Amino acid sequence: MTETDATDHRILTILQKNGRITNAELAQRVNLSASACHRRVQRLEQLGVITGYAAMLDRRSLGRPTTVFVEITLSGQATELLEGFERAVRAIPDMLECHLMAGTADYLLKLVVRDTEDFARIHRQYLARLPGVAQMHSSFALRTVAETTALQL
Amino acid sequence: MTETDATDHRILTILQKNGRITNAELAQRVNLSASACHRRVQRLEQLGVITGYAAMLDRRSLGRPTTVFVEITLSGQATELLEGFERAVRAIPDMLECHLMAGTADYLLKLVVRDTEDFARIHRQYLARLPGVAQMHSSFALRTVAETTALQL
DNA sequence: TTTGAAAACGAAGTGCG
DNA sequence: CGCACTTCGTTTTCAAA
């Protein structure tokens, strides 16, 4: 909690938007010398606050414009059942997120697909074969109003 | 639309996992000369296939361990209503995603918060004040099984 | 112990064959 | 498309506060 200060937060805010900024420019923007700034970034990486760097891609250009959310209820709450389900879930291609939700042992999955036909194929090939499923409900996103991974610090 | 070949896909797959890899190493891993590889990456950036680079942060370290999904039904479908709602939604802090869903003019929001109390505050301050809302339902994630932004190419 | 200046090293980007 | 060269950034070291 007290392991990151306000300057760290400024650094992280910049790096979330521009993960490839040069250390020299980053240092300028947070009013530090290059070496002091460099040491802070290294420390944040070592602490695991920065887990890595990623290129952000345009889904549309790559033929995955469609986001689908799938809600799944399992037939029970036994640990074995959940483990088997989760193992199978991890094998689904283009599955971006899977959350175990509070309440009724529901899972919420987020997938990105080419089109409805592509989703039908994924459904047949993967979703319909998931073990221990009692109920499943899929919802398509018509339009994404906002989508980011950047935390506000 | 945009023509990308198998080598581009290999480049993108690597850059999604390691956005700060050096051009020299990237070139080696895809069996290209440094200059050829460099030109491809530049082209992908220029085409908008690569939209940027981001540091990935650990939410837990930064005190935002809790993911909440909020489903909202509006009281109508008038363009004005949607626009007013979306404008207000964009002002919510720690809102990572907002999707307009097919079906019943539902919105699905994803937020990351410190704890349930923090969510209660955000609810009071922002969610409860959104215009045109007929129904709202919030669900907490107990555990995140999988979470990535990386597309499988 | 922490900081900044600067050197040494390595990578990126350009232009030319 | 590849090579070589120039420029620029990173990273280490060292000295000082």
Q: Is the pLDDT of residue A3 over 90?
A: no
Q: Measure in Å the smallest separation between the Cα of A130 and chain B Cα atoms.
A: 15
Least confident of B1-5, B47-51, B146-150: B1-5
Which of B23, B53, B71, B100 should one mutate to test binding to chain A, selecting the residue with the greatest count of A CBs within 10 A?
B53
| Contact at CB, A151 and B62, closer than 8 angstroms | yes
User: Which residue ranges make up each domain of chain A?
Assistant: 6-46, 66-140
Q: Is A97 within 8 Å of B148 when comparing Cβ atoms? A: yes
On whether the A66-140 domain is CATH 3.30.70.920, my answer is yes
- Average pLDDT on A66-92 reads 96
Task: Examine the pLDDT at B142 and tell me if it is beyond 90.
Answer: yes
Contact by Cβ (8 Å): A67, B99: yes
Q: Which of A70, A78, A129 is nearest to A94 (CA)?
A: A70
Query: Kind and range of the H or E element at A37?
Result: helix A34-46
State mean pLDDT over A113-128. Answer: 98
Give yes or no for CB of B134 within 7 Å of strand C.
no
pLDDT given at position B2: 60
CA of A111 to C1' of D6 (A): 47
Residue A147: strand, helix, or coil: strand
* Stretch B35-48: mean pLDDT: 92
Cα–Cα distance, B83 to B87 (Å, whole number) = 6
Tokens of B19: 């956005």
Which chain A residues are Cβ-neighbours of B50 within 8 angstroms? Answer: 55-58
> How open is the CA angle A147-A152-A153, to the nearest 5 degrees?
160
What is B94-127 written as a DSSP string? TEEEEEEETTTTEEEEEEEESSHHHHHHHHHHTG
CB B97 to CB A64 under 8 A?
no
Output the pLDDT for position B96: 98
| Nearest nt to the B34 alpha carbon by C1' | D2
B64-123 pLDDT tens trace: 999 999 999 999 999 999 999 999 999 999 999 999 999 877 999 999 999 999 999 999
Model pLDDT, residue B1: 53
Contacts of A47 in chain B (CB under 8 A): 61
Q: Supply the pLDDT for residue A104.
A: 80
Q: A72 forms bridges with which residues in the sheet?
A: A107, A136
Could you tell me which CATH class the domain A6-46 is placed in?
mainly alpha
A75 near A81, Cβ under 8 Å?
yes
Indicate if the pLDDT at residue A116 is higher than 90: yes
Q: State residue B105's pLDDT score.
A: 77
Tell me the mean pLDDT in the region A136-146.
97
pLDDT of A1: 45
pLDDT over 70 at B139, yes or no: yes
Q: For residue B10, what are its two tokens?
A: 């290999």
Rg (CA), chain B: 20
Q: Which nucleotide is nearest to B37 (CA to C1')?
A: D1
Q: Give the mean pLDDT of A25-52.
A: 92
Q: Using CB atoms within 10 A of its CB, is residue A119 exposed (0-12), middle (13-18) or buried (19+)? A: buried
Percent of chain B with pLDDT strictly greater than 90: 90
Q: Does the CB of B19 have a partner CB in chain A at under 8 Å?
A: yes
Q: A77 in contact with B at a CB cutoff of 8 Å? A: no
Mean pLDDT within A78-104: 96
* Mean pLDDT, chain A, whole residue set: 95
The whole-number pLDDT of residue B112 equals 98
CB atoms within 10 A of CB A116: 11
Instruction: Read off the pLDDT of each residue in A75-85 and give the average, rounded to a whole number.
Output: 95
Of A125, A129, A132, nearest to A106 by C-alpha is A132
Q: Do B62 and A152 touch (CB under 8 A)?
A: no
* B153 touches A at CB < 8 Å: yes
> Which residues 104-143 of B have a C-beta within 8 angstroms of A?
106-108, 112, 139-143
**Band of pLDDT at residue B3, cut at 50, 70 and 90:** confident
- The rounded distance, in Å, linking the Cα atoms of B57 and A51 is 5
Residue A105 pLDDT > 80: no
